[in-house]
Amino acid sequence: MRHQKLSRRSFLRWSAGVLGASLLAACVGSEASEPTPPSGGGTQPTTAPGGTQAPAVITGVTLRVVGTGVTLIEPIRQQAEKDLGIKLEYDVKDGPSAQQKAATQPQSWDLYDQWFNSVKIVWASGNATGIDINRIKDWDKISPLPKEGKLTPNAKEGDGDAPYRILYVQPDNTLGSNPTERISMLPLTFNVDSFGYHSEMVDKEDATSWAILFNPKYKGKIGLYSDPSTGLMDLALGAQAAGLATFKNIGNMTRDEIDTIMRILIEKKKEGQFRAFWNSFDESVNLMASGEVVVESMWSPAVTALQVRGVPVVYASPKEGYRGWYGGMMLNKNASGKTLDACYEYLNWWLNGWAGAVVARQGYYFSIPENVKAHLPQADWDYWYEGKPAAEDLKDPFGEIVAKKGSVRDGGSLETRVSNIAVWNSVMDEHQYLVTKWNEFLAS
């Protein structure tokens, strides 16, 4: 490539020569989009200067993890600190903000705890490095879903960025499915998403298909997620199910296909089909709770949160399949010495299943189910993983009751749900084109 590839940060470093270092510091500090001004030095304060021998329990290291509230939760942080003897700083953001920080402020994090649909972007920023699977003790125990694409032989693989397609670092430093010893992101938590619906306002029959998003019966009562790499998937599945459009590969559309779906979406938006777009988990809960929408693309814990509040919301199991996502952690390329050792300790700790058991009680699955089973009471395991009726009232990690005795998880067992993935959250080849068009859709 002729032109040097630049992140915003390296651009600023470049401009420092022109503008003077003091001006630079000032203008970085004045940017409103940047939530925390980075330290000026650019060195990692937590990195020990010499590469000393790694002790069994690592002390005096602070790991900075940037990510989302899905997995960066207090009980996990406390337990990891206790078990590992390190200090953990969780920087909790929404998905896009976490991704932005990972891609533009490499000095501010050691591990990036997010989702596979941001792997391509963070990898392209050059701030991450491959994780050596030889240092991951339980690597062989990780289920075939993220490594090979399927949990069971006759499951659907799903279009788009299935984790295994962008898991392995290839010799030319690109990402692919050909197994190597270095991986882009360690696969940890995952789930399959659909939409929630208000069971008193919506016909059960209508809720069996993504087509409901375009059903005129619910005009003006549809809520959507405003992120293109997930929100568009839902809408594309809906448009296809409603017979408005067809896609060769719904997870990697061509420009023509993007134009087609955007034309349909803008037309429907102008007709008033969609009520609101949410950006944060809380917003999605509030939209449904306040009656603004009756059908909404949402995450599983949002449905649980509404059920706890007494709103009769059901998480749909659409016949076209779910939209899958996989979470995990990426490693900063600047991590070295004790910090690097601590990163691997933390990754290995995550795989032992204790944290997986915590997030299981929020409805998320884990890449090594057997390790979770060891840390999860039988009743919780049966409800969340096996799809069996709850033997007793079940609580979430924070002590709130999330499942009443006798209730059954929407969609059934792990195997049933994960075997029906239509598409994964994805960054398409035409991502930049899509972003421009998506912005027009939001603005229309």
**Residue 443 binds other proteins (CB under 8 A):** yes
Stretch of 61-69, 136-144, 268-276, 332-340 contacting other proteins, by CB under 8 A: 268-276
- Tell me: does residue 224 bind other proteins (CB under 8 A): yes
**C-alpha–C-alpha distance, residues 278 and 282, integer Å:** 9
Under the binding rule (CB under 8 A), the answer on residue 36 touching other proteins is: no
274 lies in the binding site for other proteins (CB under 8 A): yes
Q: In Å, how far from its chain's centre is CA 56?
A: 32
Residue 292 interacts with other proteins (CB under 8 A): yes or no: yes
Please tell me whether residue 15 binds other proteins under the rule CB under 8 A.
yes
439 contributes a contact to other proteins by CB under 8 A:
yes
Q: Does 174 bind other proteins (CB under 8 A)?
A: no
Decide: is 16 part of the binding site for other proteins (CB under 8 A).
no
Nearer to other proteins, 129 or 362 (CB): 129
Tell me: does residue 103 bind other proteins (CB under 8 A): yes
Which helix (DSSP H) or strand (DSSP E) does residue 324 occupy?
strand 322-332
Compute how many other C-beta atoms are within 10 angstroms of the C-beta atom of residue 167: 27
Question: For residues 103 and 151, which CB has a smaller minimum distance to other proteins in the complex?
Answer: 103
Residue type, 56: A
3-state class (DSSP) for residue 361: coil
Nearest distance from C-beta of residue 30 to other proteins, angstroms? 5
Q: Can residue 308 be called a binding residue for other proteins (CB under 8 A)?
A: no
SS3 67: strand
Write the interaction track for other proteins spanning residues 376-415; mark x where CB under 8 A is met and - where it is not: ----------------------------------------
The answer to whether residues 393 and 307 touch, using CB atoms and an 8 Å cutoff, is no
Distances (CA, A) of 320 to 191, 234, 240, 412, 434: 16, 11, 9, 16, 23
Work out whether 279 is an interface residue with other proteins (CB under 8 A): yes
Figure out which of the listed residues 16, 92, 124, 401 binds other proteins, where binding follows CB under 8 A: 124
Q: In the complex with other proteins, which residue's Cβ is closer, 238 or 369?
A: 238
Residue 431 corresponds to which amino acid? H
> What minimum distance in Å lies between the beta carbon of 427 and other proteins?
8
- Spell out the long-range contacts of 406-409 with Cβ–Cβ below 8 A and sequence spacing 24 or more: 407/383, 408/383, 409/363, 409/383, 409/384
By CB under 8 A, tell whether 136 contacts other proteins: no
Report the C-alpha gap between 283 and 94 in whole angstroms.
Answer: 12
Contact characters 68-97, other proteins, x per CB under 8 A = ----------------------------xx
Minimum Å distance from CB 282 to other proteins? 11
Q: What is the DSSP string of 182-206?
A: EESSEEEEEEEEEEEEETTTS-TTG
Q: Does 275 bind other proteins (CB under 8 A)?
A: yes
Q: Which of 120, 138, 95, 237 is nearest to 184 (CA)?
A: 120
Q: Does residue 412 contact residue 392 with C-beta atoms inside 8 Å?
A: no
Residue number with CB closer to other proteins (10 or 317): 10
CB–CB of 179/164 below 8 Å?
A: no
CB of 73 to other proteins, least distance (A): 24
83-91, 106-114, 298-306, 433-441 -> range binding other proteins (CB under 8 A): 433-441
Give me 256's structure tokens: 């023509």
- How far is it, in rounded angstroms, from Cα 131 to Cα 136? 9
Pairing status of strand 62-68 against strand 111-115 = parallel
Q: How far does the chain reach from its first CA to its final CA, in angstroms?
A: 36
Q: Which of 44, 46, 68, 125 binds other proteins (CB under 8 A)?
A: 125
Rank residues 11 and 398 by Cβ distance to other proteins and give the closer one. 11
Cα–Cα separations (whole angstroms), residue 243 to 93, 214, 247: 37, 10, 11
Radius of gyration of the CA atoms of the chain, in A: 22
**Shortest separation between residue 293's beta carbon and other proteins, angstroms:** 9
Question: Of 324, 314, 300, nearest to 233 (Cα)?
Answer: 324
Query: At a CB cut-off of 8 Å and minimum separation 6, what does 400 contact?
Result: 308
107 contributes a contact to other proteins by CB under 8 A: no
Candidate ranges 133-141, 269-277, 341-349, 393-401; the one touching other proteins (CB under 8 A): 269-277
| Smaller CB separation from other proteins, 218 or 438 | 438
CB of 127 vs other proteins, minimal distance in Å = 9
Nearer to other proteins among residue 7 and residue 199 (C-beta) = 7
Catalog residues that contact other proteins under the rule CB under 8 A: 1, 3-8, 10-11, 14-15, 19, 23, 26-27, 30-31, 33, 96-97, 99-100, 103-104, 120-122, 124-125, 220, 224, 226, 228, 266, 274-277, 279, 290-292, 427, 431-432, 435-436, 438-444
